[in-house]
Structure 1
Amino acid sequence: MARTRTLALVAAAVLTAGAGLTGCGAADMTRQSSPYADAEGSRTVTLSVQSWVGAQADVAVAQYLLEHELGYRVDTVQIDEVPAWDALSQGRVDAIMEDWGHPEQEQRYIDEKGTITRGGDLGVTGHIGWFVPTYFAQQHPDVTDWKNLDKYADRFRTAESGGKGQLMDGSPSYVTNDKALVKNLGLDYQVVFAGSEAAQITQIKQFAKEKKPFLTYWYKPQWLFEKVPMTEVKLPAYKKGCDTDPEKVACAYPHTPLQKFLNARFARDGGDAAAFLKKFRWTTDMQNDVSLMIAEQKLSPQEAAARWVKANRATWRTWLPS
């Protein structure tokens, strides 16, 4: 998730859910392109799906409606955030449903090359931050100010953190500022990657079960807050441009309206599918409803999408081309 999150999140449940999204002619975009993307004259659409469950929810609902209401064949492919921009530019995927802000890619592919176009707001505002469990914050209220984190470094120490406090991150593929923040704020902490959103969720839930303290990189919207209440640690205030140089970042993450992006040719020639994806816009609560069904109730993404679609006709009808 850009210099904001990256995205993007039960381990077996979420991994299985992610696999389920790649069912219709699936392809691993890190190794090959989808055979269906940019298929001129055909009613096929290829959507890039990110690894976090919120993005899986976006794609599941879009896929369900494209197939059942508009008669398209939909292919989904899982690919990391930055490589997804290359695939979108080349027409190997048609759309990214949830992007957390990649200004370098926007400048390169939208402003300079013209191979990607903006698809509009998703309707959800994302925010990354550092969080501690609320039960610990209630016992130690001053932990929510970054200036006091070193006071609690020994409480957050783990076998993996090398004698320092542990700041837990998710996937190494997520582009975060955390290592620079720890260094530039002079904190006695070590960034430790759980490996994936699913692994991070598993670890957070285990800490919470045992009522242990932890400090973690996390993000909103995310369904886990309903299961494990967490309180944000206040970092130095975000100001525009404070995160421009990734080596010098010493400020909080911004609040980011999440965006959709389309391949430029698909946006122009994609007919009803392109029009639908541009109009797709829902709320944080709606996304979390579907995410919870996937991650906690263990429904497949398509089962969760079908249930949501059945209950929210008034919302999604406005997305269909008139």
Structure 2
Amino acid sequence: MARTRIAALAAAAALTVGAGLTGCGAADMTRQASPFSDTEGARTVTLSVQSWVGAQADVAVAQYLLEHELGYRVDTVQIDEVPAWDALSQGRVDAILEDWGHPEQEERYIDGKGTVVPGGDLGVTGHIGWFVPAYFAEQHPDVTDWKNLDKYAAELRTAESGGKGQLLDGSPSYVTHDKALVKNLGLDLQVVFAGSEAAQITQIKQFAKERKPFLTYWYEPQWLFEKVPMTEVKLPGHEKGCDADPEKVACAYPHTPLRKFLNARFAKDGGDAAAFLKRFRWTKDMQNDVALMIAEEKLAPREAAARWVKENRTTWQAWLPATP
């Protein structure tokens, strides 16, 4: 989801989440392989953790169940979306649990090299879009049509947007066509990157506290909608192939069923762990429940997972491999 998703508070939040998820040590998999991945016969699993809290919720619950119900040791590593595919192909990680669509990597590693295989749907549909706060949309209903955004550019200006209206993005590493959209739709907007999901959330919550207008790149599922209600701005309709050329994109983002991918050898020889990850499937509301505990209640991911597991036994029992 190329969303590369200001202040010491945001940095501290990001560090807290990262530390909670990398129980065996935070490894940068662009430079270092985990010693626990791709070890023949070992009851260990290495999961890639993406930087947004919804994906962290996926991994937290999967890790908890793998460890407590199936007896595996689980190593987690934080890595950006595209490098995660390289690590998956090489066996440096065993699974990606939330992918927002990377057709070039699928073609290279699934169709070409055969080193990665689909692991099934996560059960959650993702959607990226442009959003304004509900209070601003109620005051100015026409702002929800992209054709009227220039009318409100002056109200959307910030110190960082250079005299144009600000379109707030998260991290430059996320899936985003926003610069091309602004250019190709001829809008008086400037894309400004917060730097991370945590920093973007901090900025959105500050705007909302002050009841200021804002326009932001955002996505569903995301727990923040419960705290800051937002209304989507309608962009030109998405049609197949309209985003094939990143420089020419002038259409809305698609609705994307989020999927899991496994290293091919792990999918074949990973035993109960591979079977479990293929069966792991939950809903947007379930993911948001765990994400909210991590991001808003400040629970460690392991604690949030433990609470969710305790309260949702009938759901996760269906993910466990059938015993002989």
* TM-score bucket (shorter structure): over 0.9
Corresponding residue for 1:245? 245
Corresponding residue for 1:318? 318
Residue type of the alignment partner of 1:159:
A
Corresponding residue for 1:63? 63
Give the distance between the partners of 2:44 and 2:155, measured in 1 at CA.
52
1:7, CA displacement in angstroms? 6.2
Give the distance between the partners of 1:6 and 1:199, measured in 2 at CA.
12
Give the distance between the partners of 2:224 and 2:26, measured in 1 at CA.
28
Contact kept in structure 2, 1:50 and 1:56, CA below 8 Å: yes
Residue segments in structure 2 that go unaligned for 5+ positions in a row: none
Corresponding residue for 1:121? 121
Map 1:1-322 to 2 at 5 A.
1=1, 5-6=2-3, 11=10, 12-322=12-322
Residue segments in structure 1 that go unaligned for 5+ positions in a row: none
1:28, CA displacement in angstroms? 1.5
Residue type of the alignment partner of 1:115:
T
Contact kept in structure 1, 2:4 and 2:196, CA below 8 Å: no
Give the distance between the partners of 1:14 and 1:275, measured in 2 at CA.
31
SS of residue matched to 1:36: coil
Over residues 263-318 of structure 1, what are the superposed CA-to-partner deviations in whole Å (9 max), with x where a residue is unaligned? 00000000000000000000000000000000011100000000000000000000
Q: CA RMSD in A?
A: 1.0
Greater than 4 Å deviation, 4+ residue runs: none
Q: If the length of structure 1 is used for normalisation, what is the TM-score?
A: 0.97
Residue type of the alignment partner of 2:165:
G
1:65, CA displacement in angstroms? 0.2
Give the distance between the partners of 2:216 and 2:26, measured in 1 at CA.
33
1:185, CA displacement in angstroms? 0.2
Contact kept in structure 1, 2:4 and 2:172, CA below 8 Å: no
Identity %: 86
Q: 22-31 vs 56-65, which deviates more?
A: 22-31
Residue type of the alignment partner of 2:276:
F
Residue type of the alignment partner of 1:284:
K
Give the distance between the partners of 2:114 and 2:238, measured in 1 at CA.
30
Contact kept in structure 2, 1:26 and 1:34, CA below 8 Å: no
Give the distance between the partners of 1:123 and 1:76, measured in 2 at CA.
22
Over residues 223-245 of structure 1, what are the superposed CA-to-partner deviations in whole Å (9 max), with x where a residue is unaligned? 00000000000000000110000
1:15, CA displacement in angstroms? 3.5
